[in-house]
Chain A
Amino acid sequence: MISKLLPLTVICSGLLFCTTACSSDNFDDSEIQKPTSRATTALPTLGDITIEYSSTSVTVGSTLTGLGDYKLSLYGFSYSKTNPVPGWNSASGSIRRSVRNINDEGFFSTNISLVTDQQYWIRAYAVIQNQTTQEKDTIWSEVTEMQLKKQLPTLETLPVTNRARLGACVFAKFTSPGNQGLSKWGVCYSTTSNPTAKGLVETARDTCKIKGYEGEFGIFMQELQPKTLYHVRAFAITESNDTVYGQERIFRTSLGGQYSWHWARNYEGAVNAGAANRITEAMDSAAYYYNNYSNLHLSASVEYNEGVPTADCSYGGWIRFGKGERYQWVGTAQHETAHGLGVGTAWNWQTLLNYSGDRIWTGKCGQRTLRAVMHDQTLNLKGDTQHMWPGGINQREEVTNGTSNSYGESIKNERMLRANAMICNALQVDGLACP
């Protein structure tokens, strides 16, 4: 068969076009479809196709030997999911990729996207020109089958280290991303063995997507039953609707915190100023959240002191409320309680915060907890010599208006109050020297 050749300039144009693109060449040369030759001397040969699979694509390669007097004009690969003998153009049900990267190791085409579990056939081609006769031939390699198998993601459920009386944070991570994409992921839980994604689930709304689902995620379980054993396992549902699980872990809701408080000074002044009831309610509420969403111990002493501009607290829990009504509420009480527990006050606060460096909390539990409660795996728990954020309730509006994450979601109200206690609990797990 005599191949009909296109002018070289057109071919070059096609090559340029396809240097990085993945579509077939932009010309129609239907006669160059099979290994053909009018040569009287031995033709060069193309080696067997090598295929390297990644999660979503393949890289194929071949070699060219025995070029001799021939000049290489065009080379690449042709593959098809319908034609067991891939041809030159789309009319043959084939996709052709030209490349320009031949070297001593051969030539390659990268990032060929395939439909998973679909059978393909592929072969390499080369258009060569006899430098003596100027005749052109097309040579082909043997056909090779290729199939990109469906790969499901794999997960690991991490130990449940931040657990309290009514709440817990459960963390997990993708150990391999799979190639199916993900529609949903999170943690399923039950009070019996083998929780499934069809039962009780808490969906994680964010993971390190930019890393190809190789990151961690976590959930914040609230309003759990006290004195109860929970079974949890991470799950992911792929876009192809397969469900995979991490291993099951079990944890028991803890006995909770031991937080109490008492009026230590100037209760009458608070009464006279009309602040006593507000402060009492604030402290009772803070005790509720810390007793149920942390395991921390504190016996706080409360003082009403009009000389204090807002409120303050020393390590160990001497809390002073000023006359500002804005600060006589639960959020402030929790913020000051955190100081009493060591936030900005413990001897190792700055060490754990890496204060001399990036001022990002170094403990894993604290970071994971923050990211779980905030639905944002990109966040970092930061701080200075006194405070932490986000989650530190440094302003009333962080609770009432909410604290936004990187995706514009606002975490607010009771979830934020509970989150504050869970974060403080995590800081203790990480080693903060709490009283």
Chain B
Amino acid sequence: MKTIILTTIIATAAMAAAAQTEADSVVLAGSESTLLPTKSIYTLTLRDVQLKGAGQTATIKIRTGANANGVNINLAEKDITIYNAIDTVQVAAMLIDGLKKHDYTIIKSSRISIYRDGVEMGSLATSNFKDGNRIVIDNASALAAGYSLELTSDGSRVVPNIAANENNLSNMLSDFENLAADPYFNSGLARTGINTEGRNQYFQSSVNAGDGSNIWIETEDVYSGPSCVGMRSISGEETKTTLEQEVTFKAGTPYVVRAMIKSNGWVGSLGIKNQENAIHIKDTNGKWIQVEGVLSSSTAATAIQLYADADNADGTVYIDNLEIYEGANNTSKVNSEHKAVMAGIAAGNVWNPTTATEVYRLKLTEKNAETYAQINPEVVKVTGAPIFTRSFTGSKMEAIFFPYGVSNITVSGTFDYRNFYEYPLFNGLDFVLQRFDTQSGRFQYLEDDAELAPGAYIIQFADNYDGQDVTFDFNPTQKFDDSYGSNKFSIIGNGTCADQRVDVDSWNEYYYNADKQCFDNIGSEGSNALKTRPFLYSITSLATDAPSVIAPDGVNGIQRLAAAKGGNAFVVRPMEKGAEIISRTRGNLPIYNLTGMRVKDLQIENGINQVNLPSGFYIIAGKKIVVR
């Protein structure tokens, strides 16, 4: 690095008051000395440049000689302009920090570009001016003392480090190339989009575009560095405000997307532009949280978007530390580098590389109970969370284990005469979920907007999704708590991405039988050789009077039932003027009154049976009920 001038220059009031002639200015590189390069490519850095006050301006001029043609960079409180004899371009406007001290980098090549604090603000084509070797700060008296200049590179473009002023990057994935052009939202805002004229901190070269005016560069409430983006949603707003950042997405390629988010009343999504799938963001109640998801696009896409839900109420959101990493649907690339942000394994394969390998996100696909993907956990270490794809039978209750909280559930396929690609699915709209509550020994239906926390679930997809590929994207920050259990039951879930042997010496193990729609007690025989495939679980009863079966009742979830192994298992509950009996088998069921008199023989069928009874107390299958 060649330093041309590294001198503290104190501009005098007399100089500042004079007309703009070179004599009134500070000549940083003399025409005689030819200290400035005359090559077509170089990089200059000016440090600690600060306007003295509002209304002051200073101009950096690069010329071939005194009063000769050149390029001029005009610094003002609210805007920065580059111009020459022919063209003028406003590279920044509506600045909110124009009076603060900044570092500027000037890169000259086919364009002359100006960076501030490591971020490109804008540029002007250099075809219409000659390569100068004089640099002059015109009206230098407008600047506070202490600035300096150095020739960072003579012959090459040295793009400054965009993260130079960041101070909170510890939770980012530093091992992989971040594709986000402005991860820290320091590059201001662009004006491309609907109703964007009023945006503050406009930078010509900003990669942050989108629609709407309720968006700003935030410099106070930030997660890291000097700035982030703030956005406001207003109910009934005609033009919904969105934030876009330019990123090139390849079709069909998965990307790991992460960001720090803080919202207050704002609910929305972070996703690839024009794609259905997105990371859904709930109200964080004013706290910064990290969101993450794996997104891909059916076609090539050009931006990532942050947008509010269509029916979102008033609220604000801030975003910082955006990360976008390109993953892969297979392991071929990983095998050569032994480290990857994401890799996929097809159904039927066991990933067993010869060298210890780390992968942050691992996608496993299951075709059926016999054909599914897994890893050799001795060699492959999953440092983040898995992604799981399998198909489901419509309306059928099936077991699934969430080793982490679920950030997204999507479907890809063709149904209802449309093609869907990673179409987002929601609890209560596309499927229903029941989560096992170990205290009560029941599966409880989840409210539609409930968090999909780690745990053991029964899931039931709508007929629309029969046979379609459903993908579960898990959130690495929300891991299954091994203490998920009670004095009645514990859950042994398989989140290892490999077959799991259950070596407990217990005959109180229950495995889900989707055909019978219940959890079967496997008994003592063979219990030491049990195998649970990934994303399934078993339930262990710790009670001495363990039930022989845990069966779904389809109403209140799945009840714990005490019945002899192999015998009938009933759920009995009163209903208006009668009783409802849910049975796993068909047969005769006697009904007794409280005196023990047999008052009715009911021929029950497998499933839900209802019987009308006069008001009174009854004993059905050993259970006392009151019919009103």
Q: Which residues of A contact B (CB under 8 A)?
A: 117, 149-152, 154, 159-161, 163, 193-194, 198, 227-229, 241-252, 254-255, 257, 295-297, 425, 428, 434
Contact = CB atoms under 8 A, between A and B. Distances in A.
A425 B418 CA distance: 13
Describe A's contact surface by its main secondary structure.
Answer: loop
A244 B395 contact: no
6 contacts: A163-B416, A193-B554, A198-B576, A242-B609, A242-B610, A244-B607
Contacts of A249: 394-395, 463
Interface in B431-449: 431-432, 445
B554 A194 contact: yes
B54 interface: no
B429 interface: yes
A359 to B, nearest CB: 26
Given A244-B608, A295-B417, A428-B417, A151 B603 contact: yes
Given A250-B395, A295-B416, A244 B605 contact: yes
A152 B588 CA distance: 12
Contacts of B607: 154, 244-247
A250 B605 contact: no
Nearest to B394: A159
A160 B463 CA distance: 6
Contacts of B432: 193, 229, 250
A152 B602 CA distance: 10
A154 B462 CA distance: 23
Which 4 pairs between the two chains have the least Cβ-Cβ distance? A295-B417, A254-B416, A249-B395, A251-B463
Interface residues on B, range: 20 to 34
Contacts of B417: 257, 295-297, 425, 428, 434
Given A163-B416, A242-B611, A434-B417, A149 B588 contact: yes
A425 to B, nearest CB: 8
A252 B462 contact: yes
B430 interface: yes
B205 to A, nearest CB: 39
Given A228-B429, A252-B464, A254-B464, 18 more contacts: A149-B588, A154-B607, A159-B395, A160-B394, A161-B463, A163-B464, A194-B555, A229-B429, A229-B462, A241-B612, A244-B608, A249-B463, A250-B461, A251-B462, A251-B464, A255-B416, A257-B417, A295-B418
A252 B429 contact: yes
B103 interface: no
Given A295-B418, A296-B417, A227 B463 contact: no
B460 A242 contact: no
Counting chain A CB atoms within 10 Å of each CB, the highest count among B429, B463, B576 belongs to B463
A368 to B, nearest CB: 14
Contacts of A241: 612
A117 B609 CA distance: 17
A238 to B, nearest CB: 10
A255 B411 CA distance: 15
Interface string B540-565: 00000000000000110000000000
Given A161-B463, A194-B555, A255-B418, A150 B610 contact: no
Contacts of B416: 163, 254-255, 295
B461 to A, nearest CB: 8
B428 interface: yes
Contacts, number: 90
B417 to A, nearest CB: 4
A149 B604 CA distance: 10
Contacts of B576: 198
Nearest to B605: A154
B314 interface: no
A163 B417 CA distance: 11
A256 to B, nearest CB: 8
Interface string B222-254: 000000000000000000000000000000000
A163 B612 contact: no
A246 B432 CA distance: 19
A426 B523 CA distance: 47
B283 interface: no
A149 B430 contact: no
A242 B588 contact: no
Nearest to B426: A229
A434 B416 CA distance: 13
B460 A250 contact: yes
Contacts of A161: 463
A257 to B, nearest CB: 8
A150 B611 CA distance: 12
Q: Give the residue among B417, B464, B608, B609 with the most A Cβ atoms within 10 A.
A: B417
A159 B394 CA distance: 7
Interface string B574-608: 00100000000000100000000000011101111
Given A152-B603, A228-B429, A428-B417, A159 B466 contact: yes
B605 A248 contact: no
A41 B1 CA distance: 135
Nearest to B611: A242
Contacts of B606: 154
Contact of A163 (B463, B555, B605): B463
Interface in B171-221: none
Contacts of A117: 601
A117 B602 CA distance: 9
A161 B445 CA distance: 25
A152 B605 contact: yes
B423 to A, nearest CB: 10
A211 B445 CA distance: 40
A242 B606 CA distance: 15
A250 B462 contact: yes
Nearest to A154: B605
Given A149-B603, A255-B418, A248 B612 contact: no
A248 B462 CA distance: 11
Given A193-B432, A295-B417, A428-B417, A152 B555 contact: no
A296 B418 CA distance: 9
A213 to B, nearest CB: 14
A229 B428 contact: yes
Given A150-B603, A193-B432, A255-B418, A243 B610 contact: yes
A297 B555 CA distance: 38
Nearest to B425: A252
B394 A193 contact: no
Contacts of A194: 554-555
Nearest to A240: B612
Between A117, A154, A251, the greatest number of chain B beta carbons within 10 A of the residue's beta carbon is seen for A251
Nearest to A425: B417
A252 B430 contact: yes
A251 B460 CA distance: 10
